[in-house]
């Protein structure tokens, strides 16, 4: 089996235990990748979702064990817990077996760029719109994921690959664009104040590589909507990989749409 070599890979917002987790796609990506250093940038296990309804299908279990086995395969794994796996934040600076746990971390690329790595929930108070707007946003996002499940169920049935309808709709919403811009600015301002060349984060499920005020902003996206990873080549080049777009693995996934919940659920 041919594997693509990466010096570094950043993954976040996998949300194992959540019904919208695309575990099959990520497992396929990992099987086809040789990774020197892997950063798990928060919300790997969705403890929020599982506290409401425990859900751990075989695909999630297979992916979880693959992640745990990576250190034995020669990959250095660094885990930076987010808000959905918040209980693990108290183990900052400790090891879980061969997996290092940190709240934030400094990464130096092969080109010498100094990057601040963190999940991004640290900036929630700076970008939120208040409790009413947050509640409406949660309901809307839950509905978008509901539409996304049924839409892609139909695509798979007709032999088409996965495509994120939720991400497309979010991109058309003016309010979503403003929230993303505020979040990006908060991340970059913090990185600049601390003397970094850039910041790597997740949290908002919006993969992006842009420069703002001289700071490189790198959001690795998610495995709920976009099936994206941020990767670094041996030369230090940074890019986004969208696995579902370049690999038709619909034969690996059995999409069974679930009914929309009666209550909004915050995923970001």
What's the pLDDT at 127?
72
**Per-residue confidence (pLDDT) for residue 224, from 0 to 100:** 92
Per-residue pLDDT, averaged over 71-96, amounts to 94
**What's the sign of the alpha-carbon dihedral 122, 127, 129, 135?**
negative
Percent of the chain with pLDDT strictly greater than 90: 61
Lowest-confidence segment of 99-103, 254-258, 261-265 by average pLDDT: 261-265
Sign of the CA dihedral running 184, 189, 192, 194 = negative
Q: Is 7 exposed, middle or buried (0-12, 13-18, 19+ CB in 10 A)?
A: middle
Average pLDDT over residues 114-127: 90
Is the backbone of residue 59 left (phi > 0), alpha (psi -120 to 50) or beta?
alpha
Collect all residues with Cβ–Cβ distance below 8 Å to 37 and sequence separation of at least 6. Answer: 7, 8, 9, 75, 76, 77, 78
**127-176 per-position pLDDT tens digit:** 764 443 443 355 667 777 778 787 777 877 787 778 777 777 777 777 67
Residues across the chain: 268
Instruction: Check: CB of residue 221 under 8 Å from CB of residue 229.
Output: yes
What is residue 136's predicted lDDT score, i.e. its pLDDT?
37
Phi-psi region of 246 (alpha: psi -120 to 50; beta: other; left: phi over 0): alpha
Confirm or reject CATH 3.30.70.260 for domain 4-252, answering yes or no: no
User: With 70 as the cut, is the pLDDT of residue 44 above it?
Assistant: yes
């Amino acid at each position: 089996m041919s594997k693509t070599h990466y010096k570094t890979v950043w993954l976040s917002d996998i949300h194992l235990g959540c019904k919208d987790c695309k575990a099959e796609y990520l497992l396929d990506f990992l099987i086809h990748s040789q990774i020197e250093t892997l950063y798990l940038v928060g919300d790997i296990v969705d403890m929020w979702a599982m506290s409401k309804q425990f859900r751990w299908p075989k695909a999630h279990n297979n992916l979880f064990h693959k992640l745990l086995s990576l250190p034995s395969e020669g990959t250095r794994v660094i885990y930076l817990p987010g808000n959905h796996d918040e209980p693990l934040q108290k183990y900052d600076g400790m090891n879980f077996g061969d997996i290092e746990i940190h709240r934030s971390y400094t990464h130096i690329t092969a080109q010498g760029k100094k990057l601040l790595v963190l999940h991004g929930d640290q900036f929630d108070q700076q970008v939120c719109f208040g409790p009413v707007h947050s509640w409406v946003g949660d309901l809307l996002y839950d509905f978008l994921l509901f539409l996304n499940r049924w839409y892609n169920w139909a695509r798979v049935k007709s032999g088409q690959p996965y495509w994120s309808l939720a991400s497309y709709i979010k991109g058309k919403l003016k309010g979503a664009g403003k929230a993303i811009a505020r979040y990006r600015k908060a991340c970059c301002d913090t990185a600049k104040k601390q003397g970094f060349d850039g910041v790597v984060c997740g949290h908002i499920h919006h993969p992006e590589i842009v420069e703002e005020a001289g700071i490189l902003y790198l959001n690795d996206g998610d495995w709920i909507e976009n099936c994206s990873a941020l990767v670094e080549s041996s030369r230090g080049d940074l890019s986004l990989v969208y696995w579902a777009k370049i690999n038709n693995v619909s034969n690996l996934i059995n999409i069974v749409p679930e009914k929309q919940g009666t209550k909004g659920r915050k995923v970001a």
